[in-house]
Structure formats: structure tokens, C-alpha cells
Amino acid sequence: MNDAKEAKASLRQAALARRDAMPEDVRIEASLAVADRCAELLPITPGMVVSGFLPIRSEIDIRPLMMLLADRGARLCVPAIVDGRLQFRHLVRGAPLEPQGFGTYAPGAEAAVLDPELMLVPLAVFDRQGGRIGYGRGYYDSAIAALTQKGAPPILAGVAFAVQEAEAVPMEPHDIRLPMIVTERETIRPDAG
């Protein structure tokens, strides 16, 4: 393992321990605060494709935000893991979900595959420069790069609890910085100032 990977693993472990230590009621309230903050910030237009995610373990729960965005006309999708890559499948209320590994679920292979115009990006760790550490597989960096190569770079908004912040995230060439990170306490815009 190289130095950057070791540093990322150490930061991930510490941040996830802090997240896991949050009492459930505090996580619920913080998730709702992030939903409120995002609802005010995100530029949703009817028919816009928005990728969210279904929470795993103690992860932030953005389902209330996703439902609010759907009520505003957004077409929701969530990631499915297909051949080692993310495929964003249309999420329709009441449609059955299938396990994807890692403790998460997504619509089955019959669901429409969509290209997100706005991505709500999960993360394990973040810093004030827009650095992000995910869960170590690089799925989101690859998906964002693929959409950008197609000429459709998505709007990116990282969502997390404030306790997941680190002073500095080591960045490798393939890592994509986030222009916006929303927590229950604040919205961080690295390029805004």
C-alpha cells in the first residue's frame, strides 16, 4: 500500500469511528438539517436527473432530501454496482430493490439507466479544499470522470456529517475535488473565496 492509500485508510477509519459514535437521534436530526440546507441550495428543474444513495451503516440518510427533490420534479437514481463500475438506475417509489453489496440496495437490472445531472456524493472523509475520501474503491471518481468524458459533467454536492471533516485529505491524480460539501452545520464551497 502506498503512502497516500495508507493515509486515506487511517483518515477513513478515524472519521467513520467518529460517525459511528454519533447517537442515532443526533444522526437523524443532522440528516434532516442537511436535507433542509440542500433543498435551499440545489438548482433543481423539473425532469432533472439527480443521483442520491441509500444509506449504509451510520451514513447520513438523504432519503428525505431525495423525496423532497422528487416532489419538485427531479428524476431520482441511485448507484448499482455492475462489472466493477457504478450504473445509475432510476429509482421509482414502490419498485423492488436488490442488494448491491456493502449493505446497500438499488433497483434491479430492468430499471432505466440514467446519467445524473446532479450527484449527491457520499463520503467517509472530507476537507475544506473539497478533498473527499470514499470507501476505497474509487467508484464515484470513475463515474464522475466517465460522465465528464461524455460531455455531461454533473453538478457535485458532497453530503456528510460535520464530524467526518479532516484537516487535509491526500489527493491522488484520479481523485476529484468537490465544489460543494454540505453538513448539518454549514455549506463548504472551496472555490468560492
pLDDT at 54: 93
Backbone angles phi, psi at 182, to 5 degrees: -115, 125
Is 176 assigned a ligand-binding role in the annotation? no
pLDDT at 60: 97
Burial class (CB within 10 angstroms; exposed 0-12, middle 13-18, buried 19+) of 138: middle
| DSSP code, position 192 | G
Evaluate whether 138 touches 124 at the Cβ level (below 8 Å).
Answer: no
Radius of gyration (C-alpha) of the chain in whole angstroms: 16
Place of cell 433497483: 107
Reduced to 3 states, what is the DSSP secondary structure of residue 11? helix
Is 95 assigned a ligand-binding role in the annotation? no
pLDDT at 157: 97
- Distance in angstroms (rounded) separating the CA atoms of residues 19 and 13: 10
| CA angle at 30 for the pair 137 and 43, rounded to the nearest 5° | 75
Is 5 assigned a ligand-binding role in the annotation? no
pLDDT at 84: 87
* Length of the chain measured in residues: 193
For strands 181-182 and 118-122, give the pairing.
unpaired
pLDDT tens for the chain, residues 1 to 193 = 578 889 999 999 999 999 999 999 999 999 999 999 999 999 899 999 999 999 999 999 999 999 999 999 999 999 999 998 999 999 998 889 999 877 789 999 999 999 999 999 999 999 999 999 998 788 999 999 999 999 999 999 999 999 999 999 999 888 899 999 999 999 999 986 5
- Distance in angstroms (rounded) separating the CA atoms of residues 56 and 174: 25
pLDDT at 193: 57
pLDDT at 138: 84
Is 134 assigned a ligand-binding role in the annotation? yes
Is 157 assigned a ligand-binding role in the annotation? no
pLDDT at 59: 95
pLDDT at 137: 80
For residue 25, how many other CB atoms are within 10 A of its CB?
8
pLDDT at 136: 73
pLDDT at 173: 87
Is 105 assigned a ligand-binding role in the annotation? no
| CA angle at 18 for the pair 11 and 128, rounded to the nearest 5° | 55
Evaluate whether 134 touches 169 at the Cβ level (below 8 Å).
Answer: no
Is 136 assigned a ligand-binding role in the annotation? yes
Q: Which CA distances in Å does 72 have to 46, 68, 76?
A: 7, 6, 11
Is 140 assigned a ligand-binding role in the annotation? yes
Is 135 assigned a ligand-binding role in the annotation? yes
Domains and CATH numbers, the chain: 3-192 (3.40.50.10420)
Is 193 assigned a ligand-binding role in the annotation? no
Is 9 assigned a ligand-binding role in the annotation? yes
